[in-house]
Amino acid sequence: MNSASQETTLKAAYEAARDRYALWGVDPEKALAVLRQLSLSLPCWQGDDVVGFEKKPAALGGGILVTGGAPGRARNGDELRRDLSFSLSLLPGTHRVNLHAIYLEVEEAVDRNAVEPRHFDRWVSWAREQKLGLDFNPTYFSHPLASSGLTLSHPDRGIREFWVAHGLACRTVAADLGRRTNSPCVHNTWIPDGYKDAPVDRWEARKRLTESLDLIHAVPADPSWEVDAVESKLFGLGVESATVGSHEYYLGWAVRKSVALCLDMGHYHPTEDVADKLSSILLFVPAVLLHLSRPVRWDSDHVVVQDDAVQRVAEELVRIGSWNRVYLGLDYFDGTLNRVAAWVVGARAVLKSLTAALLQPAEALQTLERTGDPTGKLVLLEELKAAPWQAVWDWHCHTSAVPVGTAWYDEVKEYSRTTLSKRS
């Protein structure tokens, strides 16, 4: 199909969808206006299997495991940035990139407690050229001083002090990234601390963690440049019985310190619904950071797809509507797939979920619920499952000058042939 024929087909489908949505009192143009303002933060670690660029990289640890050996893994910053730039070119909208401290670029080895803003100069230059924001994470795993499975809660004061210094250094980096890209940097703290077998003294471990976090966050962030967040985890490889930084712990700490709480979709019991947590948590913390992931039996960090869990999160976000207090990030690493395609699949899945959610007749649904008509509400919700949101999404991609449908994958295959295949 030539470009003129495609545009005619897409426009006709969009206009038919617009007329259908008008029956429910929904204006797709207003929905797309909101969608265009939303940014996703892509995880840089999907492109290199969480290896990073430290001069003396340690083996993966802290419950993190990347499987698969697909060709084309990025081996340095230039390759990773090239892959990210290409991936971003296939997405409608303006987005962000999430870095870990191990993605510094230095001539000589720099330990974690000595990380400085200048070590990320090349990332800043690239981000400014691309007109995108950067987010940042301390790296409390894959290091000799994290080999016991404990970092900020370690009983050894010297080890704790090392990791506190790392946290302080990373907050300095995050604020600098925000200033230099003119976009607040979300600085998210996650630690692997936990126990393989059931501990008998959780209290002291959590007291030590509190002491460490309080030291790191003694000076509040300037919200113009830095947004602090903390992230819980249910369990991980090697810490199956307990994590020090549980959901309840970080919820309490975030409320006390008035910082953002990160909800990772893979960090809860399988029967817990992250969508259900949003309305409760946003009543008490200043912001929520969402890590959109796809756990399969455990926190396995599979590529996000447009499944029921992601769709429920999207719908809840739309119904709450506090977009200025929500940060959306992807969080996964899969070495079994084409790594560039994995970024695009995940990001498009979230954007499509948001599209479908923004096109729901929220007012009509709320009226049915408030007037005591649960049957009518259910009937409408079921009808919406077959609503023509895909035609609106396709038109959004077309008018954003990015590939429609699966056409983007043809571009990825060509990129793989010309670029990824040449990496050993």
DSSP-assigned letters across all residues of 34-79 = HHTT--EEEEGGGGTTT----SSPPPP-TT-------S----SHHH
Residue 57 contacts residue 102 (beta carbons within 8 Å): yes
Residue 353 contacts residue 305 (beta carbons within 8 Å): no
| Bridge partners, 262 (sequence order) | 231, 289
Q: Which residues of 210-266 form beta strands (DSSP E)?
A: 226-231, 242-243, 260-264
**How far from 223 is each of 96, 184, 241, 297, 406, CA to CA, in Å?**
17, 7, 36, 37, 39
Count Cα atoms within 13 angstroms, Cβ side, for 9.
9
Residue 104 contacts residue 115 (beta carbons within 8 Å): yes
**Residue 19 reports pLDDT greater than 90:** yes
Residue 300's pLDDT band (cuts 50, 70, 90): confident
Mean pLDDT of the region 20-41: 97
The Cα 358–Cα 352 span in angstroms is 10
Local structure of residue 294 (DSSP, 8 states) = B
Q: Worst-scoring range by mean pLDDT, 49-58, 162-171, 252-261, 399-408?
A: 49-58
| Bridge partners, 290 (sequence order) | 263, 328
Query: What was the pLDDT predicted at 22?
Result: 96
| Bridge partners, 239 (sequence order) | 236
The Cα 167–Cα 112 span in angstroms is 9
Residue 197's pLDDT band (cuts 50, 70, 90): very high
> What residue spans define the domains of the chain?
39-361
User: What confidence tens digit (pLDDT) does each residue in 320-333 have?
Assistant: 999 999 999 999 99
The DSSP result for 83-151, as a single string, is HHHHHHTTSSS--EEEEEGGG---SS---GGG--GGGGHHHHHHHHHHT-EEEEE---SSSGGGTTS-S
Active site positions, annotated: 190, 231, 233, 264, 267, 291, 299, 301, 331
**How far from 403 is each of 89, 102, 191, CA to CA, in Å?**
9, 33, 38
Mean pLDDT of the region 110-130: 98
Q: Which residue in this structure is represented by tokens 């959004």?
A: 396
The Cα 49–Cα 332 span in angstroms is 10
The Cα 372–Cα 364 span in angstroms is 13
Q: Give the DSSP H/E element, type plus range, for residue 237.
A: none
The Cα 135–Cα 187 span in angstroms is 6
Query: What was the pLDDT predicted at 60?
Result: 86
What SS3 state is found at 407?
Answer: helix
Query: What was the pLDDT predicted at 62?
Result: 85
The CATH code of the domain at 39-361 is 3.20.20.150
The Cα 372–Cα 377 span in angstroms is 9
At residue 252, φ and ψ (nearest 5 deg) are -65, -45
- Among left, alpha and beta (phi > 0; psi -120 to 50; other), residue 402 is beta
Q: The tokens of 245 are what?
A: 């930084």
The Cα 386–Cα 381 span in angstroms is 10
| Bridge partners, 327 (sequence order) | 289
Q: The tokens of 38 are what?
A: 């939303």
User: What confidence tens digit (pLDDT) does each residue in 223-240 have?
Assistant: 999 999 999 999 888 899
pTM, two decimal places: 0.96
Query: What was the pLDDT predicted at 1?
Result: 64
The Cα 208–Cα 164 span in angstroms is 11
